[in-house]
Structure 1
C-alpha cells in the first residue's frame, strides 16, 4: 500500500514537480505561493507541465494500442454483436479513442456508413469525448482514484443507456442519406511493424497536443484565477453545495464552450477547492466535453433535427442526474 501511495504521489500527482515549481516561484520570482500572485503562477506552471507530461505519455500508449484496431477491424468486431452488448463494446471503444467530440464525428460517420446500428455509434459518440483512459489518470492525479473510477463508470453507463434508447427508438430515417451512401472500403489492413506503430503513436501525440494546447492553457489560466483571485464567498453564492440550481447552471454554462476534458479539469479542480459540489464541477466538465456547441453544429450536418434533439436531451438529462448524484454522495469519494 505504501509503495502504491508513493507511486501515485510521484507519478500521477507529481509532488516532485509541485515542490520544484514552488522553489522556482519563490527563488526566481521572489514570491510566496501563499500569496495570490505567487499561488496563481505556481498553479499555472505546475498544472500546465503536469498535464502535458501525462497527456503525452498516455496518448502515446493509448495510440499504440489503438493502432491494432483500425476502423475496418473495429467494425468487424462490433458487427459480431448486437443489442446492449454492442452498445457496451462501442462505449468501451470510446475510452481508447482520445478525441474531442468534433474529432469523434468522422468516426461516427464511418461506423454508421459501414452498417453499424446508429444506437451503437451514438454510444461511441457519447463515450469518446467524455471518458478516455487519459482523463481517468488525469482525474486521479487531480482528485483521487475513487472519483476517477466513479466518473468513468457513470460516463460509460450514460453512453450505453443513451445508445440503447436511440436503438430502441428506430431513428435510422433521421440520419442524413449521404451518411449511408458513404460506404467504407472493405480492404485488408496492412500489417504494421512495431516502428510503424511507434510512428503512429508519436504522430497522434503531436496531432492531439496541437489541437488541445491552447484549451489547456486557457483552462489552467481560468483555474488559477478561480483558485487565487475569486473569493470563496462569491463562488459559493453562485454554485455552492446548498444551491439546488448549481448543477443545472453548470451544465448549461458548459455547453456553448468548446474545449476538451484536459482543458476543463483544472477549472473543475479550482471549483471543488472553492467549495463547489463535486457533481456541479463534473457536470460543467461533462457539458463542455460531450455537448460543445461546435460538435452539435457538426452533428447537425449528419443527422436531422429530431434525432439531434433526442441526443441532446438524453445526454443533458444524464449529465444533470449524474451531477446531482455526485453532489449527494460525493462525500463518499473524498
Structure 2
C-alpha cells in the first residue's frame, strides 16, 4: 500500500511538474511570438470568447489538477477570469477520451446529452462570473517577473490585482520582427513553477493517498436507495475522490454492473472528474476561499442536476 502510494506520488508529481513547466513555457512563446494571441482570441466578454475557451477545454484531456497550469497562463495573459473559468470547468469534464468512453459504455444518446448539457451550463455559469469584480475571487494575478512575456510593459511590479493599465500597453510600438529569448522564457517558467511547488507537493500527496480508493461496498449500500438522495450523495462522494481521466468510465461501468442507476453514476463521475481535493489545494494559491466554496458548489450543482435530468429522460 505504502509502495503504491509512493509510486503514485512520483507519477503525479512528475506529470504535474512537467505539464506546468511545459505549458507555461509554450504559452509564453506563443503569446510573445503572436503578440498576445490568447488575449486577442479570448478577449473581453464576447460570447464567442466563452465558446472558444470551452472548445479549447474540450480538446485538452486533462484531469482536474492538470488544468491549473493553462488556467494560470490564461490569467497571466490577462484573459478575463470568467472566460478562463469556462476552460477550467470544461477541460476535465468534456474531452475526446471521456466522450469516446461514454459512447462505448453508455451509447450515443447519453454521450451527446452529456456534452450539450454541460456546454450550456458551463457557458451560463462562466458568463455569470463576468458580472462580478475579479478582485472578489482572485488573491492576485499569477504573473511572470519579466512582464514582457505577456505584456509590453517594462516594469517589474510586486503582486497586484488586475490593473487594466498594464494590459497590452504600447502594442503598436512593438517591432514586427520579434526576437524570442527562449532561455529567459524557460527561466520564468521555472520561477513560476517554484512559487507553486509547495502547493503541488501537498496536492500530489493528497491525490496519491486517495487515488484508486473506491469504497464499492459503501457505494452499493448507499447509492441504491432514494434516487434524489442517492444522486446528491454520489456527487459529494465524487468530490472527495481523485478520479483521473483514464479511470472515470471504468468506474462508472463497475457501478452500472452493481445495479446503480445512470443518473447516480453520472452525478458521481461529473463531481469526481470536475473537482478534487488536490485541485482545490492548487487553486487556493490563486483564489480566495469564497471562490473555492463557489467552485465546489457549482460542480456539485452541475453533477446533481445532470443526474436528475438523465433519470427524467
TM-score range, shorter chain: 0.5 to 0.7
1:87 match: 50
Is residue 113 from structure 1 mapped to residue 102 from structure 2 by the alignment? no
1:272 match: 256
1:174 match: 137
- Conserved? CA contact 1:110–1:184, under 8 Å: no
- Conserved? CA contact 2:39–2:78, under 8 Å: no
Deviations 1:162-202 (A, max 9, x none): 21121112233431224256657259799xxxxxxxxxxxx
Per the alignment, do residues 150 and 189 of structure 1 end up closer, same or farther by CA in structure 2, a change over 3 Å counting?
A: farther
- SS of residue in 1 equivalent to 2:259: coil
Select between 286-295 and 308-317 the one with higher mean Cα deviation. Answer: 308-317
2:94 match: 131
TM superposition shift of 1:71: 5.8
Pairing 1:1-334 to 2, within 5 Å after superposition: 72=31, 75-80=38-43, 82-179=45-142, 183=147, 185-186=149-150, 238-240=222-224, 242-329=226-313
TM superposition shift of 1:292: 0.6
- Conserved? CA contact 2:64–2:279, under 8 Å: yes
Per the alignment, do residues 248 and 105 of structure 1 end up closer, same or farther by CA in structure 2, a change over 3 Å counting?
A: same
- SS of residue in 1 equivalent to 2:227: coil
- Conserved? CA contact 1:113–1:184, under 8 Å: no
- Conserved? CA contact 1:75–1:111, under 8 Å: yes
C-alpha distance in 2 between matches for 1:110 and 1:118: 11
Deviations 1:32-67 (A, max 9, x none): xxxxxxxxxxxxxxxxxxxxxxxxxxxxxxxxxxx9
Deviations 1:214-251 (A, max 9, x none): 99xx76x96xx96xxx7xxx966522374330011100
- Conserved? CA contact 2:270–2:299, under 8 Å: no
Gaps of 5+ in 1: 1-66, 191-210, 330-334
C-alpha distance in 2 between matches for 1:146 and 1:287: 21
Per the alignment, do residues 189 and 161 of structure 1 end up closer, same or farther by CA in structure 2, a change over 3 Å counting?
A: farther
C-alpha distance in 2 between matches for 1:269 and 1:252: 19
- Conserved? CA contact 1:279–1:324, under 8 Å: yes
C-alpha distance in 1 between matches for 2:121 and 2:138: 21
- Structure with a larger share of its residues in helix: 1
TM superposition shift of 1:302: 0.5
Gaps of 5+ in 2: 1-25, 152-177, 181-203
TM superposition shift of 1:76: 4.4
With structure 2 as the length reference, what TM-score do the two structures score?
Answer: 0.64
